[in-house]
A and B are shown apart, each in its own frame.
Chain A
Amino acid sequence: MIPAAAASLGQQTRTGALHLTFERRAAQTVLVGEFQKAPLMIVRPFALPCGTLSVFVVNPTGGLLGGDHNDIQISVGPGARVLVLTQSATRVQPSASGTAATQTVQLAVAAGGRLEYYPERVLPFAGSRLVQSLRASLEPGAELGLTETLASGRVLSGERLKFAEYRSRTEVWCGPQRLYLDQWRLSPSPQTRAPGIWGELDYAASGVFVGPGTIQDWPAELGRLASGLTASGAVWLRAAAARGPLLDADLGAARQALRQQLFGASPLQIRR
């Protein structure tokens, strides 16, 4: 996925890598293997009160530039419980040549393992392009929670829908069966403000959850958040809001409801 053209132009692009392997050892989840290549790195993992091991991904350079590539691989062994968060929003900045920043995320969860990946939102700057793909491979009995959040731009500075392209493909597989496929592709146009698309809102989120429980109480907020089952039985989530904190609150409540019903998990208590 590293854009060869950018490299041949001699552009200053970076390839960050983060490969993490978690396993359950002596009733605890531990990070047993790691490979970090700047600008991607993690701060030291710590266990939450519920026993889930939490990891913050950090990008000290302030974001992704056109031409940059991030390669994230996370593997979770049987019985391990892992929560991966990012420390701050992912800022996507344009390159002079208009090349896209790219990110690939590969997740693997073994039977009885649980991986949750809730990165902070993506803020695409004017002229920027981001192409990302996430693929999760689950063994039967694995648990997964993913959310993805997009802002229309640097909303607080008044920069909205000025980015060139946002493309994000998310697939979840259990063995040979695809449980979930979603592809957000957005090149802003005057129609992006249409009713049914984004209206006057500036934040949107999607998510997918896989777990053994059944949902009795579907997360829903009129006109702001909905959830349901995909054709293959994964739980999907959609949300949109005018303001970031409102989206975060809706999303947080929905996550908690789904984690509780699907995983039988107690609420996450995250220290930032």
Chain B
Amino acid sequence: MNLRLLQLADSAFPSGAYAFSDGLETLTVRGEVRTAAELKAFLCGQLAHGWGQQDAPACALAWTGMLRAAPDELDALLDDLKLVRGPREASLRVGANLRRAALSLWPEELSTLPPTRHHAPTFGAVAAALGASQADTVTAYVSSWLLGRVAAATKLMKLGGLDAQRAARQAGDAAQDCIQHALRATVSDLGGFSPLLDIAAAEQPGLDSRLFQT
């Protein structure tokens, strides 16, 4: 495993990702995700049909550089496919922060980094430039998403740290399937089916009080 990839994917890497829940906050406030089992189901659902069908393949495709998808094409696709403004802007903001932090840490390695805007293509392109393999890159990206969600869940739900980690572990098979799918995906595969999270994410700005930006 590439040491720099582990650093890039770590939750302490200053990308601002910790402040976004991408709709999970609304689902918890509405009582649709209340227990560790429901959290696990939410995670598996997103890996199989939602986030995992869009951002994970975008990361994998960006890793290939111009080979299978131009980064600006991926960004343009994500601009459109992320219908809901909150998650769309979160992806752009985290992407910009990740890019800025990575460029500041590895200026030489990233001197020819292609322009990227969204989080997934930025992560894929940076990891590739840092010498990580494609499989490792996507694995690290999926893992950081998964652990970021369960970390958010401990603040949103009555859920201990161990139970949160257990939910992530139980989503392991779904995560592996998601990674394998992402590694095989083509640009035209980006999509998914997540109507209830789309609706929840659109409702997030209307919550009376909230911890997360989205």
Contact = CB atoms under 8 A, between A and B. Distances in A.
Interface string A182-215: 1111100101111111110100111000000000
B45 A197 contact: yes
Contacts of B84: 226, 228
A181 B196 CA distance: 18
Nearest to B26: A223
A196 B83 contact: no
Contacts of A240: 195-196, 199
A196 B77 contact: no
A222 B49 CA distance: 22
A58 B38 CA distance: 43
A167 to B, nearest CB: 8
B44 A191 contact: yes
Contacts of B195: 197-198, 204-206, 238-240
B38 to A, nearest CB: 6
Interface in B173-199: 174, 189-199
A236 interface: yes
B66 interface: no
A196 B80 contact: no
B202 A196 contact: no
B50 A196 contact: yes
Contact of A231 (B80, B198, B199, B200): B80
Nearest to A171: B80
Interface string A233-256: 000101110000000000000000
Q: How large is the interface on B (under 10, 10 to 19, 20 to 34, 35 or more residues)?
A: 35 or more
B81 A182 contact: yes
A132 B80 CA distance: 19
A181 B80 contact: yes
Interface of A (DSSP majority class):
strand
Contact of A185 (B30, B45, B79, B192): B192
Contacts of A181: 77, 80-81
Given A184-B193, A226-B198, A239-B195, A197 B83 contact: no
A231 B88 contact: yes
A167 B202 CA distance: 23
A194 B45 contact: yes
Nearest to A189: B48
Interface in B99-115: none
A222 B50 CA distance: 20
Q: Which of B47, B53, B195, B196 has the most CB of A within 10 A?
A: B195
B41 interface: yes
Given A181-B80, A183-B81, A231-B80, A191 B199 contact: no
The 8 closest A-B pairs by CB, nearest first: A194-B45, A183-B191, A226-B202, A181-B80, A196-B197, A191-B48, A186-B193, A231-B79
Interface of A: 166-167, 169, 178, 180-186, 189, 191-199, 201, 204-206, 220, 222-232, 236, 238-240
